[in-house]
A and B are shown apart, each in its own frame.
Chain A
Amino acid sequence: MQPVFQVWDLSLGYPGKTLFEHLSFSIESGTTLAVLGANGSGKSTFVKMMLNLLSPLSGEVIWPAGRPREIGYLAQMAEFDSRFPIRVRDLAAMGAWGGFGMRRRLDREGHMRVAAALDEAGVLSIADQPIHTLSGGQLQRALFARVIMQDAPLILLDEPFAAVDQQTEAHLLTIINRWRDEGRAVVLVIHDLSSVLDHCTHALLLGGGHANHGSVTEVLTPERLVSQKYMSESQAAWMFRSALGDTKKDTSHV
């Protein structure tokens, strides 16, 4: 597993407000990192930093193999214009467009790649529909097809399951697992402790002025989740009741 992205002694925030300090870790190829935290803990700031849209307050950001030309990116849906006049097929093809330049038509191979991406995301049958006719889940699948088209070594998904049903989530998770198996590094920003975590190898927990990185089981302990203001003590007690041992019934140490 090669390191794709590293940070050293990173502090993140805005002038006058530090969100967290002294974070060092690396993301390796073939791993899946879950980024978790309460509102305002710095998840979006972290994403912006990875995308080079924001500089850290201090510390170093290192791309051991050079910054990839393409970072697969799925943004939050809030600013997406779902009434834009474009067909599912062309939305997916957008992943293979460069930044600027004349409008080139896709070649035969390009068309086949789009079809394969749509098929994997489960939206090939509606490839010619305009996106305003899609449901939230279908749209998210189409956007996943666009990420597939980006064919990037590092993939950043910002709350990909916020508005999709369980079945779609399960389907999209198989794509994420495939990416990991292919040796890509996947970073998933998620808002809640969900089933998604079963599919993640590492976690980065933000909040309470701290940032902790490690394997999922190391980081997501009830103590940390409470101290980093991710959940209240009673919520942690409820959520970890089975993990803490049903026989014990005592959650006072949480």
Chain B
Amino acid sequence: MFEFFTEMWGFAFMQRAFVATTVLSASVAPVGAFLVLRRLSLAGEAMAHAITPGIVIGFVTAGLSVMSLLIGGLIAGVGVAVLTSLLARKTILRSDASLASLYLIALAAGIFILSAAGSAIPLKSFLFGSILGIDDASMMLVGGVAMVTLLSFAVLLRPLIVSTCDPVFFEARTRWPWLVDQGFMLLLVLNLLAAFKTLGTLMAVGLMILPATAARYWAATITGQLVLGFVFALLSCWIGLTLSYIFPNTPSGPAIVLVAGAFFLISVLCAPLGFGRKPRKQSHADTTSLT
């Protein structure tokens, strides 16, 4: 057992993958928590697909550099977000249908361009991530995004809590309520890009949503939600990477997300706010130890 870990951590790419996903977990956990609490889980998923053509076009035109990934992804993400809100405001479609339409077009365009350009990256790695793909530049990207995310949350945490829990109250007290919405969407896109190398475009949002939904079943406070979400994300990454190492042909994305899925299922079955207990029928005495 011990020898197995020594051997696994002997590889530089595994060391990098473990460090990168540890930092990544700290970064995506708060984003995931608020995606879930703000009822944007599916919007997050759609956004992950929507940034695909940006990444692909950046890659085809400027090669696989972190800057091309970042610029292409940000343009696509912000573009889709702006178009979605434009369609929802100016046409008959609601925002979910607008977003769904746009992300489908974007995803199809991304995969089409990638294949047509005769990409050197296998499609599988692109969609589902690869532990071999994490180079020094990707590490810098993950570190940079994590720093921006955690600093932003230090400032945005209270406004995010108020605007999520009671949006009308928040709007009434703040001069720029849109700043929180837009700032949060930007953090989402940045974190999706940071997660892209390890998890791929299809799985990136999995590391945000599943640990957060699993934590939701245990936590009675926002602090509990954030801390537990991070712990679940971290464990999912470590166990998932190990699985991906044991089975050499498996992409890392699904391995990590499957482990997160296992945490989710366990939480559904055992946690106090899952099937373990009915939330509205608690007596006063037994509710203080939920976190």
Q: Do A and B bind each other?
A: yes
B279 CB contacts on chain A under 8 angstroms: 132-133
The interface bits of chain A over 112-132 (1 if a CB of B lies within 8 angstroms of the residue's CB, else 0) are: 000000000000011011101
Closest partner residue, chain A, to B173 (CB atom): A99
The one of B156, B158, B159, B287 that contacts A128, using a Cβ cutoff of 8 Å: B287
The answer to whether B90 has its CB under 8 Å from any CB of chain A is no
Q: In the bound complex, do residue B168 and residue A128 qualify as a contact, i.e. CB atoms below 8 Å apart?
A: no
Number of interface residues of B (CB under 8 A): 34
B221 lies within 8 A of chain A by Cβ: yes
Stretch at the interface among A11-19, A100-108, A239-247: A100-108
Tell me which of B37, B158, B167 contacts A85 (CB under 8 A).
B37
Query: In the complex, which residues of chain A have a beta carbon less than 8 angstroms from the beta carbon of B161?
Result: 84, 86, 94
What's the nearest-Cβ distance from chain A to residue B17, in Å?
32
Given A126-B284, A129-B284, the answer on whether A75 and B168 have CB atoms closer than 8 Å is yes
Contact in complex: A100, B155 (CB < 8 Å): yes
How many residues on the A side are at the interface (Cβ–Cβ under 8 A)?
Answer: 32
Cβ of B29 < 8 Å from any Cβ of A? no
Tell me the smallest distance from the CB of B183 to a CB of chain A, in Å.
Answer: 10
Given contacts A75-B169, A81-B37, whether A87 and B164 have CB atoms under 8 Å apart is no
> Is A85 within 8 A of B172, CB to CB?
no
A144 at the interface (CB under 8 A from B): no
Question: With A85-B221, A99-B175 given, is the CB distance from A129 to B164 under 8 Å?
Answer: no
Chain B residues within an 8 Å CB radius of A53 = 171-172
Known: A85-B221, A85-B224. A99 touches B159 (CB 8 A): yes
State whether A85 touches B157 (Cβ < 8 A).
Answer: no
Q: Write out the residue numbers on chain A whose beta carbons fall within 8 Å of the beta carbon of B280.
A: 132-133
Structural contact, B164 and A73, CB atoms closer than 8 A: no
In the complex, whether B16 has a CB less than 8 A from a CB of chain A is no
**CA A85 to CA B36, docked complex, whole Å:** 11
Interface flag for B154 (CB, 8 Å): yes
Q: A73-B169, A90-B221 are in contact. Are A102 and B174 (CB under 8 A)?
A: no
- Identify the closest chain B residue to A80 (Cβ): B166
Interface membership of chain B positions 170-196, coded 1 if the CB is closer than 8 angstroms to chain A and 0 otherwise: 011111000000000000000000000
CA distance A32 to B71 in the complex (A): 56
Does A109 belong to the interface (CB within 8 Å)? no
- Closest CB in chain A relative to B290 CB, distance in Å: 6
Known: A130-B220, A133-B282. A97 touches B166 (CB 8 A): no
Instruction: Report the minimum CB–CB distance from B202 to chain A (whole Å).
Output: 29
Residues of A close to B165: CB separation below 8 A: 80-81, 84, 86, 91, 94
A70 to B282, CA, bound (A): 36
Contact across chains for A85 and B154 when beta carbons are under 8 A apart:
no
Q: Pick from A51, A80, A84: contact of B172, CB below 8 A.
A: A51
* Residues from 238 to 275 in B contacting A, C-beta threshold 8 Å: none
**A197: Cβ under 8 A from any B Cβ:** no
CB of B222 within 8 A of chain A?
Answer: yes
Q: A86-B222, A99-B173, A133-B279 are in contact. Are A81 and B166 (CB under 8 A)?
A: yes
Give 15 CB contacts A-B under 8 Å.
A71-B173, A75-B169, A79-B167, A80-B166, A84-B164, A85-B37, A86-B161, A86-B221, A90-B221, A100-B156, A100-B159, A102-B154, A125-B284, A128-B287, A129-B287
Q: Given A70-B173, A80-B166, A84-B222, 7 other A-B contacts at CB below 8 A?
A: A84-B161, A84-B164, A85-B221, A91-B165, A94-B165, A101-B155, A125-B284
Q: Which residues of B contact A (CB under 8 A)?
A: 37, 154-159, 161-162, 164-169, 171-175, 216, 219-222, 224-225, 279-280, 282, 284, 287-288, 290
